[in-house]
Structure 1
Amino acid sequence: MHILNLNTKQVTKNIDEINFNKDYHFIVCNPWELKFFKGALRLNNEVYKDCLSFDDKVRVNIFDEYIFFTLANFQICEDDLLLEEINIFLSEKFILIVLRRKNDIYKEVKQLMCETFYYKSNLTLSLFIIYSSILRIIISNQFENLEKIEEIILELEDDIINEVGENVSSKISHIRGICRNCVKNIRPLTYIIDTLLKDGMEFFSDDNPDNLYLEKEYEKLLQGLDLSIDKLYNFSLNTRELADKLLEIYSSKVSEKTNSLITKLTIFTGTAVPISIITGIYGMNFKYMPALTYVHGYKITIFVILLIIVTSFIIFKRKKFL
């Protein structure tokens, strides 16, 4: 765990040094370390249990002391999609983010503790800025992973155009499944920001002038995030459409390959039919047939067959069937 005291600007890992009633804090921990903060921050028991177990549900809960926000983040690892739940608690005196493993988001959030741009005279506003920055880190991470998916799709498209391999169909199904999961996990973010904008205002709804100012700043930050999430969602839809087009390209290449095979079979048939007619005629068992006893009959027949083959080849070559 890492705890940043916004009053002293000091980072510590010792929870005994923390005064949650007096100072403002930015906390990063994993689900198993959350038990150290449950009592001091008065975390809801159901929310606490939810942080300990993984599910792919995205939700927002507005409590009296804090706002609880959870989402399913995704990462591309070796052409596969890994999902991870991220939980965030925001109050007027602390922000707590719960991450399950040390990934790129963990590193960037930890790096956020070393920056000083968010230190304002109003420390609650500083927490809002940190909250907005964390969401932007998550959105940026998902943009990067969508770009990786796009690169995989384009590489697969090149492979299909060059040659239709044996496992192409399963690869297309796999990447389409990844794209569908990305859209599925990003879509709820659009609704959640609307909920935070609408119901989250109740968190600051009183006549205190400071809270009215905080409410406006909170709304301004979330509106900026709303635009970013809309762009992220549109990007995910475009990526899914790109993956779906792989099926069209694959079907087109398979049809092209099939048509090429049929053309070759047609050429072979067109060449073989005249030869079959000749061999069929001279395979008849009539006693009296023209040239049946001719001394050069065999040679002439072979010559005619070769002439048919060569002539057919030249004609089909000129017609660009070969």
Structure 2
Amino acid sequence: MSSLLFTPLQLRGVTLKNRIAVSPMCQYSCEDGFANDWHFVHLGSRAVGGAGLVLFEASGVTPEGRISPQDLGIYKDEHVAPLARIVKFIHEHGSVAGIQIAHAGRKASKTPPWDGDKAVAPVAGGWVPEAPSAVAFDDQSTIPTALDAAGIQRVIRAFADATDRAKAAGFRVVEIHGAHGYLLHEFLSPLSNQRTDEYGGSYDNRVRLIREVTRAVRQRWPEDLPLFVRLSATDWVEGGWTLDDSIRLARLLKEDGADLIDCSSGAIIPGVKIPAGPSYQVPLSAGVREHAGIATGAVGFIQSAFQAESILRTGQADLVLLARELLRDPYWPLHAAQELHAQVAWPKQYARAQH
């Protein structure tokens, strides 16, 4: 029986050679948002390793939209050339390059995780974060500035301008980051959005910004190239964003021009007990796929070839995104093909190791 994992996936005018994607993973290794040799080797090796789609890490659409001062950026034209160098290599090796464009909201201006994920003060090279409401993520975080109407329009323009830069760099997929407690998710969840204007309160008001961003990005992104949106499909806490909310939003985002919903979860507030384990988020992907009628990606503790194959074969997702497993093994797709008896070409430089 042929492997679905190694069946091509067509989205608009782009065909992925298989259904394995490198999930966006922050490397906290930049200066002023510029990609460098670390990113070239890190991302390029995953293309050599056989992934069908290589998604670059969350890239700030504004300087203030970065999670840390060391994050990748796509907020100025000078960022394009070093990104384009990596994109070219990825495409030369048969994978598709995509980029996640993001604004970290109230979770911005932090140190890298290995330095404690602490707030970085403006005097130390950080900044005051922006958010829907002037409510900090936790006691160790800076109280953010609530975006006013002009600030919201500035954010929408920044996402649109970042899309132009993604096109100039040669990317063939753009993913809007609407998950993990960052800005767009902060507007969605009643746990973080305390606004009383047209961007707060009712469901329609809370989804307004992500829909406006999606439409603005779709308008700038070529018609033949696919657009993804990553959502935290549930907050895992009573009174928060739910799977039903995500299904309803996915239908709207499909109307707005999205092609795939990348279904993650959580991270809107600290201290939530999440039932994490192998495939724990797959039911979220399955629910959105079934009830919203849109392609989905599943992510979260997907570790084995047979696990990934099962997710696809049971109709729970169209694409599987791997993070930690691809950190452990950049060549996971090549090894998975061997396990599933799928015939895939190895890089000719490595062919002697195939058998």
Bin for the TM-score computed over the shorter chain: under 0.3
TM-score (norm 1): 0.23
**TM-score w.r.t. structure 2 length?**
0.22
Q: Which has the higher helix share?
A: 1
Question: Which structure would you say has the larger Rg?
Answer: 1
